[in-house]
Amino acid sequence: MGHTVSEPNRTSTLSRRAGMSSGQPIGRLMALALKHPNLVSLAAGFVDNDTLPCETTAAALRRLADQPELLRKALQYDMTAGSGILRANIAEWNYRRFPAGRPDPERMIVTAGSNQFLHLVAEALLDPGDIVLAAAPTYFVFMGTLKGVDARIVGVSSDEFGMSIDALQEQLQRIAAAGDAHRVKLIYTVTDFDNPAGSTLSLERREQLLEVVRRWRAEQGPIHLLSDCAYQELRYEGEDLPPLLALADDASEFVIEAGTFSKSYSPGIRVGWGVVPESLAPTLLEMKSNIDFGSPHFAQVLMNDVLTSGEIDSHLPVIRAGYRVKLDAMLDALDAELGETPDVVWHKPAGGLYVWLTLPEHIDASEGSPLWRCAMEQGVLYVPGYYCYPTEGEPIALNTIRLSFGVQNPAGIRLGIERLAAAIRQVAQT
Ligand code: PMP
């Protein structure tokens, strides 16, 4: 009674869900890079290795070792939502420039990187067949998560200013006309210097996006807007734009925000966080509690020291300056190598770790294509843009490439672009 009897003739011990977790392509690309040590990898989205904050972290650990009571606490479980002190400090620090949006720490959850938070959101909101709209291209790891919960992902045309709001409205109308309006649950945006396209949602589009969601909620039903702010601190020029939560009083009712220290300090410490509407907080906490009772408390105490000692604020200008040099090296090399090649296009991102390259339409850059093979022969690895496209909505552009400038030094970046350009020229001639 109440339980469905499992099919007697099953052929696998794996769950249906496990079957849907098709590995991430980036894992395969990284294995390739390891197998071919002479390959210049412009694929991995890792942060710069040389500026990882080793000394700062060692000092924070020593301070912790010198405070036996704090250390004892750090070695104990804490709340599922994460350390209350850390949540309050993150709210304060993260909204230092836009205090109007500062969230109540009661609506925040500390997670093991923001990926865990994104995963929790997907699990909490999506049933199989539910619809998520996202820019095309978008963050492929989150697409993997969405596929894992059997959601439909609808791609929305985007440019250097992020998702086109007209295109978003068109997609929403198309979905409503097909009778699927009730399936729409989430709009996902990587708000600043996104992965993969390096685009930043303009202020005008931020306001329009809030309005589209507000209207949909009034006319069609509850949906949420998920703003992924992973790269927010990595701005190399221009002024910070207000986060969605700071733009309207009612935003806290439907905006979910994901944040992380992975890019601003260290991905290895695995401290990220999320801000959710009050109505969602208890559910997400229960789900998180089922997973791990809360993220590693030790890492949270460490990050709290890094925040409150001001070390993160001294670290940020150092990494921003380093990335700026790398970004310039990549853009200069692209100009020198491909500036004259017809129909090869890229934009200058104002921050982040990625440059998005669009090639002439007839050049397929996907894994195994002639360009891919030629680039491997030349000795350069890239992420085919193809992986970053949802399978519905905006068509997949096979002629696109994501280039990362985070890990390589400027000489490596130049060499990688020279090799890639040679491959592109070779394939364009055939
Ligand atoms: N969002 C985006 C857009 C990212 O690129 C990344 C990292 N590559 C993350 C979230 C998650 O990073 P983490 O889990 O380390 O916080």
Q: Is residue 8 part of a domain?
A: no
Percent residues over pLDDT 70 in the chain:
97
Protein residue with least CA distance to atom 6, ligand 1: 230
Residues 143 and 260 grouped into a single domain? yes
pLDDT single digits (tens) 38-89: 899 999 888 999 999 999 999 999 999 999 999 999 999 999 999 999 999 9
Confidence band for 430, pLDDT divided at 50, 70 and 90:
confident
Boundary (domain end) residue, out of 291, 311, 331: 311
Residues 224 and 106 grouped into a single domain? yes
* Contact call for residues 274 and 259 (beta carbons, < 8 A): yes
Q: Is residue 373 part of a domain?
A: yes
> Residue 370 sits in a domain of what CATH number?
3.90.1150.10
Give the whole-angstrom CA distance, residue 222 versus residue 216.
8
Q: Is 267 in the pocket of ligand 1 (CB under 6 A)?
A: yes
Residues 281 and 338 grouped into a single domain? no
Tokens of 29: 């690309």
Residues 230 and 322 grouped into a single domain? no
C-alpha closest to that of 90 among 63, 69, 68, 117: 117
Residues 106 and 242 grouped into a single domain? yes
Residues 383 and 307 grouped into a single domain? no
Give the whole-angstrom CA distance, residue 49 versus residue 52.
6
Q: Is residue 137 part of a domain?
A: yes
Residues 299 and 387 grouped into a single domain? no
Residues 124 and 272 grouped into a single domain? yes
Q: Is residue 2 part of a domain?
A: no
Token pair 């929305």 is found at 156
pLDDT single digits (tens) 174-198: 999 999 999 999 999 999 999 999 9
Give the whole-angstrom CA distance, residue 252 versus residue 91.
14
Range of the domain at 359: 16-52+314-429
Protein residue with least CA distance to atom 8, ligand 1: 45
Q: Note the pLDDT of residue 19.
A: 82
Boundary (domain end) residue, out of 311, 332, 359: 311
Name the pTM for this structure: 0.95
Terminus-to-terminus CA distance in the chain, angstroms? 66
Residues 203 and 233 grouped into a single domain? yes
> What is the distance, to the nearest Å, from the Cα of residue 176 to the centroid of all Cα atoms in its chain?
28
pLDDT single digits (tens) 410-423: 999 999 999 999 99
Counting ligand 1 atoms within 8 A of each CB, the residue from 120, 138, 189, 228 with the most, and so the one to mutate, is 228
Residues 370 and 224 grouped into a single domain? no
> For the chain, how many structural domains are there in total?
2
pLDDT surpasses 90 at 302: yes
Confidence band for 20, pLDDT divided at 50, 70 and 90:
confident
Tokens of 394: 């905006």
